[in-house]
Structure 1
């Protein structure tokens, strides 16, 4: 079985994440190809798309959100993601049990005496008027029946687990600050979700496996589980196994992939790219060594924005006091500094925040 080293896996990831070459895809096409973008920080998807799409302008994502082509919703790993409307409707039923388990597990004591089905029915009755509500407004409408649990616990149970919700614009629009207003996905999108059988070869799970590998492969089952939060999708993996090709990484793990997916030569040049906080290219794996050194793994879950140099996380970046500050994590050669500075200037122009300087911060 062919062994793929970290550099080969890195280039495969960059190719599928449109980080080797900017794509000409539309915003909905790109969001679908990426299997969504993590979006609990509302402005970060704009940076992620700018780094991946040729000629991307913020209004393109704004238009996709307001036209209901893409939607903000709780999905993979109980995290807010930006996904296409079609994916939100198709994938949400498969994630329902995981979302419920995670919220009930987080608030085990607080929600011990609550019947989730009764809470869900009460929440749907409130939302039957098709008016969007904040989590606080929804909790206030039902809390007389459940005065015991903390409002936060009851609210998260409603909006992140029991009722598939869309977070409505202006939340998530370019340079707009807006609170979360929730409306059931089916109301916002005008289409229903449909429960699907899991035991019968898990058809939605099979779709998730193929889509994940298209965006992140080659990858192990543990990587798939880390991405979606589901328990490895073993039935689905078995069902599609004969469609796939297998490799091993340097640790001996089996990696699965679509046979015709891009796997560029490990020496393929990789341009500098600035990534947003919580980017898919980093968080989409259990083993992130293909893109970030072990010593810096904490950055990937702490909300630090990263800079890829030669395809790997080599710096972090921030914007403060009209300066885009780049903090290297390793020494950068002169050519790497020049390329990073040039891409930083382009990002500064895109962000349109009056950034006057792009500078390296050595900490000295």
Structure 2
């Protein structure tokens, strides 16, 4: 079985994530290819798309959101993701059990006496008037029935697990500060979510396997599970196994992939790229060694924005006091410093935040 080293896996990830070469595709198609963008920080997807798409303009994502081509919703790992409308409707039922389990696990004591099915039914009745509500407004409408549990626990169970919700614009629009207003996905997108899969028939699970590999492969089953948070995909992997090819990494793990997916030569040059907080190119794996050193794993989880140099996380960046500040995690060569500064200058133009100076800390 062919062994793929870390650099080969890195280049495969970069090309499928549009980080090896920017793509001219549309925003909805890019979001579909990426299997969504993590979006709990509303402005971060704009940075992620700028680093991936040729000539990306913020109004392109604004338009996709307001025209309901893409939607913000709780999905993979109980995290707010920006996904296409079609994927939200198809994938949400497959995530329902996981979402419910995670919220109930977090608030086990607070929700011990709450019947989730009853709560969901009453919540849907309240939302039947098709009026967007904040989580607090929705919980207040239920206080006569559930006045004991903390509002936060009830609200999260409702909007993150029991009722598939869309977070409506202006939340998530470019340089707009807006609270979360929720509306059921079916109301916002004009049709119900797809039927929930059965134990004997899981086409959505099989689609998730294929789509994940197209965006992140070659990858192990543990990587797939880490990305989506779903435990019940072994059967889906078995169902599509004959369609796939297998490799091993240097640690001996079996990696699966689509046979015709791009796997560039390991020596393919990789340009500098600035990533947003919580970018799935880093967080979309159980084993993240293909893109970030073990010593720096905590940076991505903590929400630090990262800079890729030669395809790997080599610095963090932030904007503060009209400066774009870059902090290397390893010594950068003169050529690397020049490439980082050049990409940073382009980023300052895109961000349009009155950034007056790029500060690259070269003391290491």
Distance 1:303 1:115 in 2: 35
Match runs of 1:226-265 below 5 Å: 226-231=226-231, 233-265=233-265
Give the deviation of 1:363 after TM superposition.
6.4
Question: Structure 2 length as normaliser, TM-score?
Answer: 0.99
Give the deviation of 1:361 after TM superposition.
2.4
Corresponding position of 1:218: 218
Corresponding position of 1:92: 92
Corresponding position of 1:277: 277
Aligned partners of 1:94 and 1:195 also within 8 Å: no
Residue by residue over 1:270-306, the C-alpha shift from the partner in whole angstroms, topping out at 9 and shown as x without a partner, is: 0000000000100000000000000000001000000
Distance 1:267 1:35 in 2: 27
Aligned partners of 1:201 and 1:235 also within 8 Å: no
Distance 1:123 1:196 in 2: 20
Corresponding position of 2:61: 61
**Structure 2: runs of 5 or more not aligned:** none
Aligned partners of 2:73 and 2:165 also within 8 Å: yes
Corresponding position of 1:16: 16
Aligned partners of 2:94 and 2:204 also within 8 Å: yes
Give the deviation of 1:197 after TM superposition.
2.6
Match runs of 1:129-148 below 5 Å: 129-148=129-148
Corresponding position of 1:358: 358
Give the deviation of 1:232 after TM superposition.
5.2
Distance 1:68 1:199 in 2: 31
Question: Structure 1 length as normaliser, TM-score?
Answer: 0.99
Give the 3 Å change call, closer, same or farther, for CA 318–363 of structure 1 in structure 2: farther
Residue by residue over 1:133-168, the C-alpha shift from the partner in whole angstroms, topping out at 9 and shown as x without a partner, is: 000000000022111110000000000000000000
Residue by residue over 1:106-152, the C-alpha shift from the partner in whole angstroms, topping out at 9 and shown as x without a partner, is: 00000000000110011101100000000000000002211111000
**Structure 1: runs of 5 or more not aligned:** none
Distance 2:121 2:133 in 1: 16
Aligned partners of 1:222 and 1:232 also within 8 Å: no
Distance 2:353 2:363 in 1: 24
Aligned partners of 1:38 and 1:45 also within 8 Å: yes
Secondary structure of the structure 2 residue equivalent to 1:319: strand
**After the TM superposition, which segments of 4 or more aligned residues of structure 1 sit over 3 Å from their partners?**
none
Distance 2:162 2:183 in 1: 13
Give the deviation of 1:198 after TM superposition.
3.3
Secondary structure of the structure 2 residue equivalent to 1:142: coil
Give the deviation of 1:59 after TM superposition.
0.2
Aligned partners of 2:332 and 2:362 also within 8 Å: no
Secondary structure of the structure 2 residue equivalent to 1:247: strand
Aligned partners of 2:6 and 2:289 also within 8 Å: yes
